[in-house]
Amino acid sequence: MSYVQVRNLSKSFDNNQIFNNINFDIHKGEFISLLGPSGCGKSTLLRSIAGLHNVDSGNVYVDGEDITYKDVQKRNIGMVFQSYALFPNLNVFDNIAFGLKLKKLSKEVIRKKVLQIIELVDLTGKENYYIDALSGGQKQRVALARALVVEPNILLLDEPLSALDAKIRKKLRTMIRQIQQELNLTTIFVTHDQEEAMIMSDRIFLMDKGNIVQQGSPIDIYTNPVNKFAATFIGNYNILKKKFSLKYFNLNCQTAIRPEAITLAISNTDVIDYDYCLNGRISNVQLLGNIIRYNVKLDDFSLNVDELNDINRMRFFKQDAVKLYFKTKDIQPLKDTINEF
C-alpha cells in the first residue's frame, strides 16, 4: 500500500474552487515535486495536506491512517516555507529544539538530537548564532533542521529555495536530496522551477489550474508530455499546428517536438537513420553555453533545433540551407489538441 494516499481532495476559498477531486499515491521514501506555474494551487494543496487549510471534501491518508481532520500538531509532518518562518529572538539551537521542547523530552535527549541534526545540515559551530546573523542559505538550513529534528512521517517543502541566489540554491538542493535519501523520508517539494524538479525528484506531479495533468518520472514527463501545457511548461518544445502535423507527419492533432530531437545537416548530405526529412534555412543562431540553438525557417513554420556546442560538430550559419531529420518516435501527439488548429 502507498504511504501517502490522497483521495478526491477538493478545496475552495469562498466560491473560488482551487482544486477539485485530486488523487495521488506516494510511496514510502519517495521524493515528489509538485511542479506548476504561479497560482495553480501548489501551496494550497500542500497546506491542505499539512492541515493548515480545511478541505471541502476528500481524504488524506498517511501510513494507512486518515489524517484529514487531525490537528496540525498531531500529524507529525515537517514543513519548510520559502520565508523561513524562524524565531528571530531565539538562537539556532533553540529554534531547532523548539518542537522537541513541546514534546517535553529530557534536556539531554533534546541536546543530542539537535546537535545531530545541526551536523546533518552542516551548521556545526553556529549553535549560538541568532537568526539575523545568518545568511539566507543558513537560515533555510535551520528551518530544514527544525522540520527534520522531530522525525516527521512526511516532509513538505514549499519553494524553500526560491529566495536564495542561484549558487546557494544548487548547493542546497543537493543537500536536501542527500538528506532525504539518507533518512528515507517521504517528501513533497513544491516548485515552479522545472530544472529543480527534474534534478531532485523520483516523480513529478505536473499541476495546471488546480489539476494534476501528468504524473511520472522526470524522464517520462520530459520525453512524453501528455498535453500542450506539459509540452510548453517542460523544456523548450516546438509545438506544431494541426494542419502542419497532418501535412508533414500524418498526425491529426497538434504535435510537440524537442529541439534536441531534430538532426541538422547541410542540404547535400544525408543521414541514414530517419523517418522524415524537410528542407529549411537557418534564420537565427544563439549560443546558450553548452548548447547552440538554431532557429530554422521551413516553408510553413519555424522550428528551434538544439545542437551540442562541440568543436567536432558541424556549425551552421545564418542563411545556410539545411535538411532537418525527424524520427517518428520523437513526434509527440498532443492529446488535448484534436479540436485545435
Helices then strands, each counted (H, E), the chain: 9, 18
Site mask, ligand ATP, residues 12-31, x = CB under 6 A? Answer: -x----x-------------
For position 40 contacting ligand ATP by CB under 6 A, the verdict is yes
Per DSSP, which regions of 170-210 are E strands? 186-191, 203-208
Written as nine digits, the cell of 160 is: 524553500
Size of the site for ligand ATP (CB under 6 A): 11
Looking at beta carbons only, is 117 or 156 nearer to Mg ion? 156
- Least distance (Å) from ligand ATP to the CB of residue 159? 6
| Residue that has been written with the C-alpha cell 519555424 in this structure | 302
CB atoms within 10 A of CB 283: 14
Looking at beta carbons only, is 85 or 277 nearer to Mg ion? 85
**Residues in 161-200 at the binding interface with ligand ATP, rule: CB under 6 A:** 192
Q: Which listed residue (33, 43, 186, 201) binds Mg ion by CB under 5 A?
A: 43
**Inter-residue contact 255 to 228 (CB < 8 Å):** no
Looking at beta carbons only, is 43 or 332 nearer to ligand ATP? 43
Q: 31: buried, middle or exposed (CB in 10 Å: 19+, 13-18, 0-12)?
A: buried
Nearest to 88 by CA among 130, 136, 139: 130
Q: Which listed residue (15, 38, 54, 269) binds ligand ATP by CB under 6 A?
A: 38
Q: Which listed residue (33, 44, 138, 255) binds ligand ATP by CB under 6 A?
A: 44
- Least distance (Å) from ligand ATP to the CB of residue 181? 26
For position 49 contacting ligand ATP by CB under 6 A, the verdict is no
For position 43 contacting ligand ATP by CB under 6 A, the verdict is yes
**Inter-residue contact 50 to 77 (CB < 8 Å):** yes
